[in-house]
Structure 1
Amino acid sequence: MKLYYLPGSCATVPYVALEWIGEPYEAQAVTHDYIKSAEYLVLNPQGQVPLLVDNDLVLTQNIAILTYLDNLFPEKKIFGSKTARDKAKAMKWLAFFNGDLHKAFVPLFRVPAYAEGNEELTNEIRKDAAANVIRMLSIADEYLTRHIHFGEQISVADVYLFVELRWCKMLGLDLSQFANLQAFYQRIAADVGVKTVLIKQGISE
C-alpha cells in the first residue's frame, strides 16, 4: 500500500490513519510540479493528493481512501468507533472539514485568475475567505464546548481539522477567540500517530 502526499496537506489525514493502523505501507512525498506531470496524471487526472495505490486499486479523494481503510481494518477504529451510528457522526464532521471548510481556504492559498493583478480585489477576496473560515471554525469551537473529539474518540475527522488549524497558523489567521479549538489543537498534536507523521514529513510544531 502506497500513499502519495504533499507535506502539510490534507493527505496528512490518511497518512496518520495508516500510522494508526500499523500495517506495512509506503508514503511518498511529491511536489506540486510532480503532481501535474504526465506520469502522475495517469494515476490521478485531477493532479491532486492524496493518492492511495493498493495493488491494482488506485484511489483518490480523502473520504474514499479513509472509508476504504476503515473497511479493511475496522478494528482500528479510525473513525473513532466500530458502530455505524457513531462512525456516521465522525463522518459528518469529516465531510464538513473536507468539503466545506477545506474549500473555504482555497482563495487564501490561490486567488482566482480573474483577480490576478488587481490588488484591491485580491485583498477583498482574501478578507471574505478568511471571514468564511472563521465562521466555520466557530461552529467547530461551539461543538467542542460539549465534546472532546469529533467522534467517540480521536478519529480522522479530528486530524483533518488539526491540519486545517495548522493552515490557519501558517496564514496568520487570528484564532485567539476560540479557546476550545486551541485546547483541541494541543490534544491532537500530542497524539503519537500525529507526531510521528509530522516528523516523517519534516514538519515541526
Structure 2
Amino acid sequence: MLQYLGDHFVPALVPANGTLERARLQEILNYLAAEYHKAWTPLFYLAKGADATDAQRPVIARQTYLNGLLADGRDYLLGNDFSVADTYLFAVTRWSVNFGISLEAQPALQAFMARVEARPSVKAVLKAEGLPELFNKA
C-alpha cells in the first residue's frame, strides 16, 4: 500500500519501478511488515500488569538489526533519501515509548527517530494528530 500511495501521490518517496533501488525498498518494506511490525503483536495482548520482558525480546532483536543497517552512516533506510519505508519505521518505532522499550542501546535507530521527527512534514502531522514529539525534547 505504501508503494501505491507513493507512486500516486508522492513519487519522490519511492524509487522508480524496475530499479535496484525499488527492489531494495520492497525488501525493507517486506522486513518491516513481516518481521518488525509482527514482532510487536504480543505486546498488544499482554494481560494488564503482566511482565513485558519476554514479549519485548523479539522487538528489541529486530531493532538491533535495524540499528545495524542505520549504523553505516546513512540518514534513512535506503541511504540519504527519505522514503515511504522511513515513514513506516518511524510510526512503528514510536510504540517503543508506549511499551517501555528504550532505544539507548540502539543509537543509530534513536538518531534516525530524532531526524525523522525533526522533518517539518512530520512535525506538522504530529501536531495535527495531537501527538507529542518524543525524540527531540528540548
* TM-score, length basis structure 2: 0.82
Structure 1 residue ranges (4+ consecutive) displaced by more than 4 angstroms after TM superposition: none
> Where does residue 141 of structure 1 map in the other structure?
67
**Identity rate, percent:** 31
Structure whose CA Rg is larger: 1
CA contact (8 A) 2:29 2:85 kept: yes
Structure 1 unaligned spans of 5+:
1-64
Post-superposition shift, 1:201? 1.0
**What does 1:177-188 correspond to in 2, within 5 Å?**
177-188=105-116
Report how many residues are paired. 130
- Decide which of 94, 99, 103 is 2:29's aligned counterpart: 94
Instruction: State yes or no: 1:82 paired with 2:20.
Output: no
1:194 to 89, 105, 122: 122
Which residue in the other structure is 1:109 paired with? 44
Task: Using the TM superposition, give the Cα deviation of residue 174 of structure 1 relative to its aligned residue in structure 2, in angstroms.
Answer: 2.1
1:111-166: per-residue Cα shift (whole Å, max 9, x none)?
Answer: 3xxxx69x7xx53xx32220110100011101111122112411111111111221
Structure of higher RCO (CA pairs closer than 8 Å, 6+ residues apart)? 1
C-alpha offsets along residues 4-43 of structure 1, whole Å, 9 cap, x if unaligned? xxxxxxxxxxxxxxxxxxxxxxxxxxxxxxxxxxxxxxxx
RMSD: 2.1
Q: Name the TM-score, length of structure 1 as normaliser.
A: 0.57
> In the alignment, what sits opposite 1:45?
none
Which 5+ residue runs of structure 2 have no aligned equivalent? Answer: 134-138
Hey, what's the Cα distance between the residues in 2 that align with 1:150 and 1:163?
14
Partner of 2:77: 150
2:89 maps to what in 1?
161
Q: Distance in 1 between matches of 2:22 and 2:122?
A: 20
What is the identity, as a one-letter code, of the residue corresponding to 2:4?
Y
- How far did 1:91 drift? 2.1
CA distance in 2, matches of 1:142, 1:128: 22
Contact 2:6 2:84 in 1 (8 A): no
Give the aligned partner of residue 67 of structure 1: 3
Alignment partner of 1:132 out of 50, 58, 79? 58
Q: Distance in 2 between matches of 1:88 and 1:141?
A: 21
Q: CA shift at 1:94, angstroms?
A: 1.7
Given that 1:87 and 1:151 are in contact with CA atoms closer than 8 Å, whether structure 2 keeps it comes out as: no
